[in-house]
């Protein structure tokens, strides 16, 4: 049987945030568009949204919200004069709520695809050359060939596996599996104290698991500003997270319904026995078997797709966006911005991405969020800077609404021009507060512009205003 050929203006490979958004924008611009994706949910059904929706950030946020409510009901609700007895946890229902959120949003993406006449093909795609993609689908016995004038690769990333901690799916699990536990383990260890490990640790710690984070690096959270990271370490330690830095795991084996770990730190070799082990040691690009050898798609030494500043690969008309490229960090909104940028570029519109104003968020409680440069990076290059710090517990709205009012907001500005160089926050709704700072940096605002902007009172957004005032020694709700 001959292979079926279908022709499109654009074929997008991958339906995570970078992929489905680029497909939608291409369709909006009038291109005949197809999107190929092979994700299947735990029910064995096709599901748009990629790892971000199905087994990543969205699932994490849903579980975090449930864990915060449970923790409040069992620990802090009495402070509001509200008393409740017989509080119990049905973790299965918690997981089903999370799954319903995912299924609902995946269905909305499918509806948008239908509205824009985007052809969705469930299957495994392979780049044959700069104009052709083959698709193998379980629904069709014969692979099909897609002809495309332009191709956008948005294949995302997946958890890194460790040879000394092999995933068995029951006792030693990866980060996706950690979002589907049907019981709360009494003891839980996590290899990796980075963003994902910290997010998962906070969730299961609130649900009642004795949680231990084993981080090989001596420093805690090296990406954010050091002052923010130090504050985060103090807060999370007080919440009960057992964070062991400089702890390099050597072996992990499951036996007798337990996992035994052996790890080394500066004090020697230690053994640890837990009910579950989560491997959260980072993510790798999904580029294995993505392209036929004769396609000559250029990858770097870590299997990321090599692209230029316009997200172009070495093949004409073939672009790559999101987690699988060498450009920028693995962030959903970075992939979304790149997907829109490439779609518009194909249409002859050039709106370059400002990677210097790219926000980052860690979805813990409290949240950690930042944009721009850190104080330590600026000091290292002897940049003349001034710093303003405002504690969130000096804000009236935080006191009135947040059970945990710890955290700080920090603004770094150029000492001579007053340009905003970085904003760093740990605190309730940090990601939402940060949006104003990102907008300010995008429009090259100064800290004086923030001071001159009237903020509603009382609001959380006032903390950014107060931090800008603190930079000038004028904070209104702090003593001099």
Distances 22 to 61, 118, 157, 219 between C-alpha atoms, Å: 24, 11, 17, 37
457 is known as an active-site residue: yes
Which of 5, 140, 399, 457 is the catalytic position?
Answer: 457
Residue 319, Cβ neighbours under 10 Å: how many? 28
Report the alpha-carbon distance of residue 172 to residue 23 in Å, rounded.
Answer: 36
Alpha-helical segments (H) within 5-90: 17-28, 50-54, 57-71
Report the alpha-carbon distance of residue 232 to residue 406 in Å, rounded.
Answer: 10
- Residue 198's closest CA among 364, 331, 330, 56? 364
Contact assessment for residue 298 and residue 287, using Cβ atoms and an 8 Å cutoff: no
Residue 115, Cβ neighbours under 10 Å: how many? 10
Contact assessment for residue 167 and residue 279, using Cβ atoms and an 8 Å cutoff: yes
3-state helix, strand, coil in the chain (%, to 5): 35, 30, 40
* 3 state SS of 285: strand
- Residue 132's closest CA among 112, 111, 149? 149
Q: Looking at the annotation, which residues are catalytic?
A: 457
């Amino acid at each position: 049987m001959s292979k079926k050929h279908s022709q499109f203006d654009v074929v997008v490979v991958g339906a995570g945030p970078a992929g489905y958004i680029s497909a939608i924008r291409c369709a909006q611009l009038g291109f005949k568009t197809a999107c190929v994706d092979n994700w299947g949910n735990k029910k064995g059904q096709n599901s748009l949204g990629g790892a971000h929706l199905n087994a990543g950030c969205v699932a994490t946020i849903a579980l975090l919200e449930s864990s915060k409510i449970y923790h409040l009901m069992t620990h802090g609700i009495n402070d509001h004069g509200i008393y409740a007895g017989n509080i119990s946890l049905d973790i299965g229902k918690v997981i089903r709520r999370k799954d319903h959120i995912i299924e609902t949003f995946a269905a909305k993406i499918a509806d948008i695809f239908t509205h824009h006449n985007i052809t969705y093909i469930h299957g495994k795609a392979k780049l044959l050359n700069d104009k052709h993609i083959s698709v193998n689908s379980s629904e069709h016995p014969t692979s099909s060939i897609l002809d495309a004038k332009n191709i956008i690769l948005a294949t995302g990333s997946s958890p890194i596996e460790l040879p000394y901690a092999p995933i068995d799916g029951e006792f030693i699990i990866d980060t996706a599996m950690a979002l589907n536990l049907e019981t709360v383990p009494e003891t839980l260890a996590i290899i990796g104290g980075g963003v994902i490990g910290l997010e998962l640790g906070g969730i299961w710690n609130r649900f009642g698991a004795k949680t231990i984070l084993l981080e090989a690096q001596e420093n805690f959270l090296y990406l954010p500003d050091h002052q923010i990271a130090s504050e985060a370490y103090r807060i999370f330690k007080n919440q009960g997270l057992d964070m062991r830095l400089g702890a390099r795991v050597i072996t992990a084996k499951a036996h007798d319904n337990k996992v035994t770990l052996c790890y080394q730190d500066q004090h020697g070799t230690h053994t640890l026995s837990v009910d579950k082990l989560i491997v959260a040691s980072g993510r790798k690009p999904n580029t294995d078997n993505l392209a036929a050898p004769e396609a000559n798609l250029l990858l770097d030494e870590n299997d990321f797709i090599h692209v230029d500043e316009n997200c172009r690969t070495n093949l004409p008309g073939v672009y790559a966006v999101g987690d699988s490229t060498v450009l920028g960090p693995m962030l959903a909104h970075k992939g979304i911005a790149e997907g829109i940028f490439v779609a518009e570029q194909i249409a002859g519109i050039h709106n370059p991405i400002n990677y210097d104003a790219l926000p980052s968020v860690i979805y813990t409680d409290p949240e950690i969020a930042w944009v721009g440069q850190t104080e330590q990076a600026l000091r290292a290059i002897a940049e003349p800077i001034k710093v303003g710090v405002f504690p969130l517990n000096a804000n009236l709205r935080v006191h009135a609404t947040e059970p945990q009012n710890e955290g700080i907001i920090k603004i770094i500005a150029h000492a001579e021009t007053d340009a905003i160089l970085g904003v760093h926050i740990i605190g309730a709704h940090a990601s939402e507060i940060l949006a104003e700072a990102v907008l300010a940096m995008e429009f090259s605002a100064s800290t004086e512009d923030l001071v001159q902007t009237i903020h509603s009172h009382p609001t959380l957004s006032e903390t950014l205003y107060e931090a800008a005032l603190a930079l000038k020694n004028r904070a209104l709700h702090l003593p001099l």
